[in-house]
Structure 1
Amino acid sequence: MPGTSGRVTKARLQRLSGWFGGDVITAGSKGYDDARRVWNAMYDRRPALVLRPAGAADVATAIRFGREHDLAIAIKSGAHSAAGHSSIDDGLVIDLSLMRGVTVDPIARTARVNGGALLGEMDIAAQAYGLVCPVGVIGHTGVAGLTLGGGIGRLQRHYGLTIDSLRAVELVTADGRTVRATEADEPDLFWGLRGAGPNFGVATAFEFDLHPFGPLLHRGLAIYRGSQVRDVWAMVDEYGRAAPEAVALIMAIARAEPAEEYPPSVAGEPIVLVAYNHSGDAAAVEADTAPLRAGPEPVSLTSGSQPYLEVQTANDLAMGWGHRSWILGSYADDLRPDVLDALVDHVADAPTGASISASLQGSAMARFA
């Protein structure tokens, strides 16, 4: 089979196919190019072998095969790694896309999520019972990668990071053992999985606590001229220091494009956007967000309520597969006025679609140990 590493012979692959319950894909296989694709088109890697396990036993087989043949291993769930870690040149990709599915226990308010499941599956399954797990903002993101990376989204100031709702992880370790880690069983491993770094094993299933929520999310968006950035930041900074935990807030600096989607006075120009999501009682929204209406005069201001599931999928097409994406993040307590001016100047000349944003942290995100 052409394209595989010299360490992996045709005979060995044939033996693997005999006891592997999922898909075995090499460079000579039909569908190889689709199998090696990842969300971020900046990365065009060519693994020697892609294995799609059908269950945890197949994952153990895949890991063992990779070790025996000295293949570097990459794990692919939703394939949304912004840095391209979902694939690897000349190595083995273990693709969990056959291991999808979410099961909700509405009485216990828990969810069991298979290792290849996507956020959209989890959102739909939980909202069927008026429940939610705080996850990310793009429905085709993998639950596994998002969770083990912490998990940022629209509800985290209210309910904590995704990983704060994690009850258990089932994984296959590097030596092929299947392990269930919780606070009571394998507690050191469970601690490590929740923030101590990658490579503890391949997660095949998760259990999460769920929280009563929905179905509506209350939202608002204000658009300002780029020249107002200093005053807008002052408002956002002051509000953020005492904002209610039900409010998620983001301030972005971008260019108003496509021009036809923005007011003529700012079309094609640098703008500042301030958006909130309020996950609490509708009756509290106006008072909780009043300080955001007491600052500079916006060019446009919209607000309303929308079903959570609609919000969660609103950007799925815009953030679909096949785009080239460069993402860099950091933490800051404040932004100097000259930095704000420089960011506005930067987006004025940056490629279409470029933006810089600051998201409010804290509240429930800061209370979990």
Structure 2
Amino acid sequence: MTSYKHPLGIVASLPEEDVKELEEGLRGDLILPDNEDYEDARNVWNGLVNKYPALVVRAKGGADVARAVGFATDHDLDLAIRGGAHNQAGTALAEGGLVVDLSEMDSVSVDPDEQVARVEPGTRAEDVLAETQPHGLAPPTGSAGDVGIPGSTLGGGIGWMRRKHGLGIDALQSVELVTADGELVKASPEHNEDLFWAVRGGGGNFGVVTNFEFDLYEVGPMVQGLGVFYPADVAEDVLETHREVMVDAPEELTTILLRGEVPNLPPMPDELAGTPAVGILGCYAGDPEEGEEVIEPLRSVAEPLIDMSDVMPYEMLHDLGTQMYPWGRKYTHRSVFLDELTDEAHDIILEQMDEAPTPMDAIGIWSMGGNIGHGPDAAYAWDDKGYMITIEGNWEETANSPNLEWARETEQLLRDLDDAGAEGAYAGFTGVEEQDWEDWSEQVYDDNYDRLAEVKAEYDPDNVFSLNVNVDPADRNG
């Protein structure tokens, strides 16, 4: 047996000959704690996460993925899948376990005539858009450019054209994935239909996706963008106007309202950075001239601190998300879905922001509706909701922060709003600290959980893929 160590101690003890056999059988690289690439391989977006895996397999293809999964099961190691490493809960890493790193599986193939893209799992939203936007096409992706395609899509895929073209799962035609027993299978409306249903909203519970096939939609490369920040003292008026506009807004308009502060980013003037504010960001996925007229009421609530609204590259909206939530900051983001924005919901948002412990904290109102859920039936449970509220703890300093408790408290206050239809959670926004996965599974999957457990029992009966918002195969009926 050989002990694999990091500077703080032993990570795991494994038979040296087995590790050598694993390495020799890979096309990609095996990264151990003494490797110069180890620190990079365990680096993830959320600075709260600090885990030390025993091995990292940087896969070059499905065969490498299958070998890594088999090694983890044979040696009873926790298994994590590292796609974009953007999941805030740190599920891209396994303490003392094995990480399958997909970052080198990063090809994007675009057929502009058929309006289809085939995407490998090491890609991020910005990588896919870089290949599709020259053709004036895009699939629905996450709202920030550095969000990984696997985690974002398998949880739903909530992006900047969601009200016009739906979620990532609505555009998904098929996937190929490696299951717990090392088999490469295809899932689509014609192949393994139950599995295809399950992966679209059920996350990484069923295997490691090695290829995504997306429908592409006509959007961009230039769109009417919305970006206006108002002083915090007119927040009540801004929330009211936003509610009135979005009730009847055309499906082309997608918005996120943020009660927080002016971010310290270009083109924000230095003197405005950090000013308490309420901002509305948005995209009009249609004719820009029509979009300018549609967003005008959201730009004229009061005298803005800054108004960046203009016709802009579609990719720029994703760049903004990357800059607003940079790699390495500490994060805890929670979520609740609402049917409607009641006065009480607005009151809680305003009151809780007054109680926010650090300046970068925010609460977001994401407009939903429109064509969300237009695709084939999927395991995503909340496609009929009008809004998603995100409670965002964002800070730089100590790990043990009051942000954690503030986010929990705010989420619960919103979750108690029965008149607003408050329920559920998005898989990408489930907090980070010592989570009760069972509770989050109930919130994320709702009534779909029992059927998901049946599919899980078929494809992963031993719960090899457990580092996620987990579906326990033991919960299957019968």
| Structure 2 length-normalised TM | 0.72
Question: Where does residue 151 of structure 1 map in the other structure?
Answer: 157
How far 1:86 sits from its partner (Å)?
A: 0.6
- Once the 2 structures are TM-superposed, how far is the Cα of residue 225 of structure 1 from its aligned partner? 2.4
> Identical aligned pairs, as a percentage?
35
Give per-residue Cα distances to partners, 1:36-59, cap 9 Å, x unaligned: 111111101001111111110111
Matched, 1:365 2:338: no
Question: Structure 2 counterpart of 1:341, which letter?
Answer: L
Deviation of the 1:22 alpha carbon? 1.1
1:173–1:200 Cα contact (<8 Å) kept: yes
Residues 11 and 52, structure 2, Cα contact 8 Å, conserved in 1 = no
| 1:170–1:59 CA distance, 2 compared to 1 (3 A) | same
Output aligned runs, 1:159-238, within 5 Å. 159-238=165-244
Kept in 2, the 8 Å contact 1:256–1:262? The answer is no
Q: How does 1:263-342 map to 2 (within 5 A)?
A: 269-293=275-299, 295-332=301-338, 333-335=340-342, 336=344, 337-342=346-351
Query: Shift of the alpha carbon at 1:248?
Result: 1.0
**In the comparison of the two structures, how many residue pairs are matched?**
366
Q: Does 1:15 align with 2:24?
A: no
Work out the CA distance in 2 between the residues paired with 1:289 and 1:318: 22
| Distance 1:36-1:364 versus aligned 2 partners, 3 A rule | same
Picking from 61, 64, 67, the partner of 1:55 is 61
CA shift at 1:317, angstroms?
A: 4.3
Q: Over residues 139-175 of structure 1, what are the superposed CA-to-partner deviations in whole Å (9 max), with x where a residue is unaligned?
A: 2221111110111111111110011100010000001
CA gap 1:5/1:299 in 2 versus in 1, 3 angstroms: closer
Cα deviation per residue 1:159-200 (whole Å; 9 max; x = unaligned)? 100111000100000011100111001111101111234310
* TM-score in terms of structure 1 length: 0.92
Equivalent residue letter for 1:364: N
Aligned counterpart in structure 2 of residue 26 of structure 1, from 22, 32, 52: 32
**Alpha-carbon contact 1:103-1:113 (below 8 Å) kept:** yes
Shift of 1:275: 2.5
Return the alpha-carbon distance in structure 2 between the equivalents of residues 344 and 322 of structure 1: 23
Match of 1:109?
115
Q: 2:72 aligns with which of 62, 66, 73?
A: 66
Shift, 1:343, TM fit: 3.0
1:270·1:344 contact (CA, 8 Å) conserved in 2?
A: no
Task: State the match for 2:384 in structure 1.
Answer: none
Give distance in 1, aligned partners of 2:126 and 2:307. 29
Aligned residue for 2:354?
Answer: 345
Assess, with a 3 A threshold, how the Cα gap between structure 1 residues 65 and 135 changes in structure 2: closer, same or farther.
same
Cα deviation code 1:221-248 (max 9, x no counterpart): 3322222222221111121111111111
Alignment equivalent of 2:362, drawn from 355, 359, 362:
355
Against the structure 1 CA distance between its residues 166 and 258, is the aligned structure 2 distance closer, same or farther, given a 3 Å change threshold?
Answer: closer
Hey, what's the Cα distance between the residues in 2 that align with 1:147 and 1:6? 32
CA distance in 2, matches of 1:319, 1:254: 13
Amino acid aligned to 1:303: S
CA distance in 2, matches of 1:110, 1:311: 22
State the alpha-carbon separation in 2 of the partners of residues 240 and 274 from structure 1: 12
Contact 2:225 2:317 in 1 (8 A): no
Farther-moved stretch of structure 1 (335-344 vs 291-300)? 291-300
Deviation at 1:257, TM superposition (A): 5.7
Please state how far the C-alpha of 1:295 moved relative to its aligned partner. Answer: 4.0
CA distance in 1, matches of 2:263, 2:219: 34
Q: Which deviations, in whole Å up to 9, do the C-alpha atoms of 1:261-309 show, x marking residues without a partner?
A: 4597x77542211222111102212332244356445444442111123
Match of 1:96 in 2: 102
CA RMSD of aligned residues (A): 2.3
Per the TM alignment, residue 325 of structure 1 is displaced from its structure 2 partner at its CA by 1.7
Counterparts of 1:254 and 1:30, CA distance in 2: 39
Amino acid at match of 1:360: S
Please list every run of 5 or more consecutive structure 1 residues that lacks an aligned counterpart in the other structure. Answer: none
- More displaced, 351-360 or 145-154? 351-360
Please say if residues 252 and 272 of structure 1, whose CA atoms lie closer than 8 Å, have aligned partners that are also in contact.
yes
Q: Distance in 2 between matches of 1:11 and 1:267?
A: 56
